[in-house]
């Protein structure tokens, strides 16, 4: 495996708070890597630096060996770092397939409003992407009427329209029912495998994390305290200690029931 995204000694402070404190890791080609940690651990701050929304206090991020630290979000996105699940990623007044077509048009650097035939452009490719996320049958519905889980799948299709090499997903399943969470992460895992995309995500449902991650990193108070396989993380005493306070990582009753 080779590293696609490399993070070296990344830090960001807000006044006296070290939100991200000297974090280093690498995301490998084709890897589905989870970043977990309690609320306020620094996960979103870390993601925002990777996506260019927030400037690091110090440290370096490289994409395929090229430094991207401090570049504008749009530039980072153009280089192949896709993000999903922004509320603004879909337009309610347009149909499902039109949203994907618009993303394809933008990806190919064409301007939607200047194209009288835009409604035809990339429609087939749009339908293909919708099929990838299991939404081909909803192509001509208006986004405003979509169920929440379907909107999330559409947002994934919109992200894929930009043909990302890396997908960054900060709490992609927030607000979803447990069964929908599992389904969305299963879909993401399939896409990662089939397209060779690399994906870094955060998620607070540990069933989802343990079921789908190739590797897990644990952030606590801005610092990376563990980085390893699902088994390593389950058995790591420091991780247990961090989570036992909140009681969210391991559920002994459930573990016994599963055994």
Backbone φ and ψ of 60, nearest 5°: -140, 140
Closest CA to 67 of 2, 12, 10: 10
What residues contact 137, with CB distance under 8 A and at least 6 apart?
Answer: none
Closest residue to Mg ion, Cβ-based? 44
Task: Give 43-82 as a DSSP string.
Answer: HHHHHHHHTTSS--SEEEEEETTEE-TT--HHHHHHTTEE
Q: What is the SS3 assignment for 27?
A: strand
Tell me whether residue 40 or residue 149 sits nearer to ligand ADP (CB atom).
40
Select the binding partner of residue 52 from Mg ion, ligand ADP, none (C-beta < 5 to 8 A, by kind): none
- Stretch touching ligand ADP by CB under 6 A, among 33-41, 75-83, 134-142, 188-196: 33-41
Beta bridge partners, 61, equal 7
- β-sheet bridge partners, residue 232: none
Contact 105, 118 (CB under 8 A): yes
The distance of closest approach from Cβ of residue 19 to ligand ADP in the complex, given in angstroms and rounded to an integer, is 3
Instruction: Using the rule CB under 5 A, give the single segment among 38-46, 138-146, 149-157, 217-225 that binds Mg ion.
Output: 38-46
Q: Which is nearer to Mg ion, 96 or 219 (CB)?
A: 219
Q: Is 126 in the site for ligand ADP (CB under 6 A)?
A: no
| Minimum gap (Å) between residue 117 Cβ and ligand ADP | 43
Number of residues that bind Mg ion (CB under 5 A): 2
CB of 199 to ligand ADP, least distance (A): 17
Q: Is 220 in the site for ligand ADP (CB under 6 A)?
A: no
Binding partner selected for residue 113 from Mg ion, ligand ADP, none, CB under the kind-specific 5 to 8 Å limit: none
Element (H, E) at 88: none
Element (H, E) at 34: strand 32-36
| Shortest Cβ 51–Mg ion spacing (Å) | 13
> Does the footprint of ligand ADP cover residue 19 (CB under 6 A)?
yes
Q: Which is nearer to ligand ADP, 29 or 223 (CB)?
A: 223
44 binding Mg ion? (CB under 5 A) = yes
Number of H helices, E strands in the chain: 10, 10
Is 93 among the residues that bind ligand ADP (CB under 6 A)? no
* Residue from the set 45, 90, 220, 236 that interacts with ligand ADP by CB under 6 A: 45
- How far apart (Å, rounded) are the C-alpha atoms in residues 62 and 222? 20
User: What residues make contact with ligand ADP under the rule CB under 6 A?
Assistant: 14, 17, 19, 37, 39-45
């Amino acid at each position: 495996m080779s590293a696609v995204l490399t993070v070296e000694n990344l830090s960001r402070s807000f006044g006296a708070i070290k939100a991200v404190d000297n974090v280093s890791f690498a995301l490998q080609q084709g890897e589905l890597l989870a970043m977990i940690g309690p609320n306020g651990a620094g996960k979103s701050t870390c993601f925002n630096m990777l996506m260019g929304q927030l400037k690091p206090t110090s440290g370096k991020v490289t994409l395929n060996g090229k430094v991207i630290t401090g570049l504008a979000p749009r530039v980072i996105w153009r280089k192949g770092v896709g993000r999903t699940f922004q509320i603004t990623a879909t337009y309610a007044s347009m149909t499902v397939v039109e949203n994907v077509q618009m993303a394809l048009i933008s990806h190919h650097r064409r301007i939607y409003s200047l194209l009288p035939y835009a409604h035809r452009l990339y429609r087939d490719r749009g339908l293909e992407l919708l099929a990838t996320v299991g939404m081909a049958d909803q192509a001509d519905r208006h986004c405003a009427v979509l169920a929440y889980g379907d909107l999330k799948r559409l947002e994934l299709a919109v992200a894929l329209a930009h043909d990302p090499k890396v997908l960054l997903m900060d709490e992609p399943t927030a607000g979803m029912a447990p069964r929908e969470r599992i389904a969305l992460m299963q879909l993401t895992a399939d896409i990662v495998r089939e397209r060779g995309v690399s994906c870094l995500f955060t998620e607070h449902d540990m069933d989802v994390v343990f079921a789908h991650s190739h590797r897990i990193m644990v952030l606590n108070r801005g610092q990376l305290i563990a980085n390893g396989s699902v088994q390593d993380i389950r058995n790591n005493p420091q991780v247990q200690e961090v989570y036992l306070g909140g009681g969210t990582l391991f559920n002994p009753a459930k573990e016994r029931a599963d055994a």
